[in-house]
Structure 1
């Protein structure tokens, strides 16, 4: 492989698309994305917690969410902002996820221990589809992931977030 081919390969990106059927009406699933109490129950993979979610859920607003690692992964907090580009009530949420400090000031992902190929900003689109019978399909698209391990780790993490979200409505 030539160095030009290697550079092109490391710059290849793909969208990550994950769907899940949640056994709850669309109005309740919408709240899981828009209300602090709900976000704190599902944000982060298994064993991770979300001790705070300061929600400014409106177009142009920015929410600040915290993900706390379990002690086996160092127990530290990671902060993300979700800046909302477009909101279609009970249907779509488009936002940009960025790493931040605890006050919400954007930081380079490498400053918080992320690998150098971690994108600084990740555009996300959440689509809710009312399937009837009290079921909602949630599809999230994370745009322009570098192809490779980080993308697959995000897939795993988001699938675990969906598992936690589904559990909210099972109780």
Structure 2
């Protein structure tokens, strides 16, 4: 019998812990950044309380949807999350995410425990690398542009493509001026200036 395995993945991101904790726990934000490149998060449900369930739908490039499910075991905003993790019928494992402040930056550490096989550990390592790359891109892209592949998005006109490249702010997903569009093949979310129209 194979011993249970663990893996640890880290990124240092230029954003405060509270912003990254929100990105990890708010469904609207998870749908933007979650998943490796070429994997689209089509659904995110989060009941953020001890024992509360979550569910993430990852659409693979071939169109199949893989569901990740679990329940929260520990919640310490904005510093730490612990939750169970299960993909389909695979054995259940556990994930701990820590958000440690480093001045104006945050070290995000993912500890994935109780992994059943080396092959699963390798798959999870690739997946977590991709997820943290997505979180880093969400937080650090100039002008806080958020870019994800999504075929149904509409394209901005040339003027707005130039504007989003220059824009200095990007807020959290809400209904206060956040716009969506396509830029170089990716979905872009950008906070528009007050009164501006696409």
Same structural fold, with TM-score higher than 0.5 when normalized by the shorter chain: yes
| Superposed CA RMSD | 1.4
Q: Which protein has greater RCO, CA pairs closer than 8 Å, 6+ apart? A: 1
Residue 3 (structure 1) aligns with: none
User: 2: distance between equivalents of 1:155 and 1:92?
Assistant: 20
Q: CA deviation at 1:140?
A: 0.8
1:79 aligns with 2:70: no
Q: Could you say which structure has the larger radius of gyration?
A: 2
Equivalent residues, number: 141
Correspondence 1:1-171 to 2 at 5 A: 7=1, 11-70=2-61, 74-100=62-88, 108-109=89-90, 120-133=91-104, 135-170=105-140, 171=144
8 Å contact from structure 1 (residues 41, 165) kept in 2: no
8 Å contact from structure 1 (residues 13, 146) kept in 2: yes
8 Å contact from structure 2 (residues 75, 82) kept in 1: yes
User: 1: distance between equivalents of 2:42 and 2:129?
Assistant: 20
8 Å contact from structure 2 (residues 5, 118) kept in 1: no
User: 2: distance between equivalents of 1:15 and 1:150?
Assistant: 10
8 Å contact from structure 2 (residues 32, 41) kept in 1: yes
Q: CA deviation at 1:147?
A: 4.7
Structure 1 stretches of at least 4 aligned residues deviating more than 6 Å after TM superposition:
none
Q: Which has the higher helix share?
A: 1
Q: Which runs of 5+ in 1 are unaligned?
A: 1-6, 101-107, 110-119
Residues 118-170 of structure 1 show CA distances to partners (whole Å, capped at 9, x for unaligned) of: xx21111111101112x110111110223522211211110111001111112
TM-score (norm. length: structure 2): 0.67
User: 2: distance between equivalents of 1:146 and 1:83?
Assistant: 19
User: 1: distance between equivalents of 2:70 and 2:97?
Assistant: 12
TM-score (norm. length: structure 1): 0.77
